[in-house]
Every structure is written in structure tokens, then in C-alpha cells.
Amino acid sequence: MINCLLIDDEPLALQLLEDFVKKTPYLKLTGKFEEPLQALPLIESQQVDLLFLDIKMPDITGIDFFKSLSHRPEVIFTTAYSEYAIDGFELKAMDYLLKPVSFEKFITATNRVKEYIDYKNNRDTKANEYFFINVSHKLHKIFYNDILYLEGYKDYTKVYLSTAASPLLILHNLKYFEDLLDQHEFIRIHRSYIVPISKVNTASRKSVTIQSASLPVSDNYRDGFFAIIEKYAK
């Protein structure tokens, strides 16, 4: 389901878009506004996937309003003035609908958005599960959730996995993996070690345990590590 929000200073145009949304099974209306600034709290809450935004409005144009957003959902601009089309597409708008908007054009535009969001969600889900890396001239699939910890040796890194009896020895230094892995989940605790927070059994000022392994926590990384750990403390 795609959560969408409507902004248009013309009540009739707003009503037409609302009727179209209600006819479209994969769209859910989360709000409608005649004043753009009234929509800000809902947009910034990141609960909006798609914004239908009129361009020519009295106090602020839709273009300027969209540029001002810190969180930008996908957007379809609507207007009676075709000269704004280039500005809209420069902001990577999904589409640009000229008024009066027909249901046929509306469906074509929203189908494009649905295909894009489905593709992006599917891509992100797959990317979050695993990665491939070269080990002894073979590409190995490594699931992020299988990583117990990583140990650096100059230009090499040992990757310890819950699914393997022996670690993988990979020709990349630890900094390579520090940049590759999600830094909210995989934390460097020592110049030689990176650990996934989800696999830490116990943590002290000097060490962490992961299964049967005890790994050192160094002075340089202690504060950053415990800043993350404390977010999970009860």
C-alpha cells in the first residue's frame, strides 16, 4: 500500500484527486491540504510515500515547498501551467500531470510510482540480506546475519561465521569492511576487531564476548561502542 498526500489550493482539484485515490486499490490517502505548510508535520514524520503537489499556489510554489523538505517522498506535480514541467523533472519528480487531470493519466502516473517503489523495496530487501566477496578466486555469498565478528591482519581480514567451522581469510583490510558494513549494526571495538551488536553476549569496559570468543575493547573505540550499546540498555 502506498501512503499518499494531496496538496492543492483549489478545493475542486483536491476533491478530484481524492476521488481518484479512492478508486485506486494500492493507494491510501493519509491527508489532504490546501495550505502546503499545514502538511509539513505529516511529511516530516516519514509516513508519506507519495506526494501529489500543485505547483502554482498563493504563498509558496510547489517547487519551492518541495525543495524545502528535509524528507522528500516521491512526488507527482499537478498544475495547469506546462512551463513548470522542466523544474518539476529536475527535482526527479515521478510524473507531471496537467490539469484537468484525467483518471487515465492519473493511473499511468501512479502505476509508474508503484513499479518504482516495488523495485526499490525488493532491491533493498535483497541487499540487506547478503553480499558476495572474493575468497581464494571464488565468490562467496555471506549473509550479514551469519557474521559473528571480523578480525584484521594488516591487508587481510578473517570473517568468523556462525555457519562455518573456520573463518574466511579475505584479501581486504578491516577498514574496507568498516566502510562496507552498516555502522549502526557493525561496530569497531579495537583496531583489529569489528563486531555485530546483535551477536554480543556480554560487554565490559575491556572486552566483549561472542559465543566462546572474548575480544578486547580498546580505549580509542570504547566510547563509540558503549554509546551504541547504551541505546539498547533497559
Average pLDDT, the chain: 88
**68 vs 184, which has greater pLDDT?**
68
Check if the beta carbon of residue 84 is closer than 8 Å to that of residue 55.
Answer: yes
User: Do residues 177 and 121 share a domain?
Assistant: no
Domain range for 219 is 130-232
The number of beta carbons lying within 10 Å of the beta carbon of residue 136 is 9
- Write down which residue in 110, 127, 144 finishes a domain: 127
pLDDT at 193 over 80: yes
Check if the beta carbon of residue 52 is closer than 8 Å to that of residue 4.
Answer: yes
Q: What is the pTM of this model?
A: 0.54
Give the model confidence (pLDDT) of 34-80 as tens digits. Answer: 999 999 999 988 889 999 999 988 888 888 999 898 888 999 999 87
d(CA 226, CA 205): 9
* pLDDT tier, 147 (very low <50, low <70, confident <90, very high otherwise): very high
- Write down which residue in 80, 97, 127 finishes a domain: 127
How many domains, in total, are found in the chain?
A: 2
**What CATH number does residue 62 fall under?**
3.40.50.2300
